[in-house]
């Protein structure tokens, strides 16, 4: 089977994106100081987190699979993460 990039894998999914509101906020200073930033980037299976050119953590919240791994590996106070508003976000067809 052809190896797909994460972007290609995510493209197979159905999302209903909340254009008005992100459900993820990174506390940039604290995330970098504690090493949380690097953990978020490595552990998220959906590539939601990445280094932006200016050295901050960029958040592609629309790709989120809502597993909660980021919240589990983030030090307290570095990340605000909750579920998207009702009806928004990933909508698994197969599960």
For other proteins, the binding residues (CB under 8 A) are 1, 3-4, 6, 9-10, 12-13, 16, 39, 42-47, 65-69, 71-73, 76, 82-87, 89-95
Nearer to other proteins, 28 or 65 (CB): 65
DSSP 27-79: -HHHHHHHTHHHHHHHH-TT--EEE-TTSSEEE-GGG-----HHHHHSPTTSE
Nearer to other proteins, 28 or 43 (CB): 43
CA dist 69 to 49, 57, 74, Å? 12, 16, 9
Q: Minimum Å distance from CB 32 to other proteins?
A: 16
Q: Minimum Å distance from CB 28 to other proteins?
A: 20
Q: Minimum Å distance from CB 55 to other proteins?
A: 19
Report yes or no: 66 and 72 within 8 Å, Cβ to Cβ. Answer: no
Nearer to other proteins, 55 or 87 (CB): 87
């Amino acid at each position: 089977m052809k190896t797909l990039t994460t972007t290609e894998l995510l493209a197979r999914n159905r999302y209903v994106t909340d254009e008005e509101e992100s459900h993820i906020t990174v506390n940039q200073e604290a995330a970098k100081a504690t090493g949380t930033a690097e953990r978020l980037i490595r552990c998220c299976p959906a590539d939601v987190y990445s280094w932006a050119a200016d050295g901050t953590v960029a958040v592609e919240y629309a790709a989120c699979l809502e597993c909660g791994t980021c919240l589990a590996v983030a030090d307290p106070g570095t990340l605000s993460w909750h579920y998207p508003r009702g009806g928004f976000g990933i909508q698994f067809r197969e599960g």
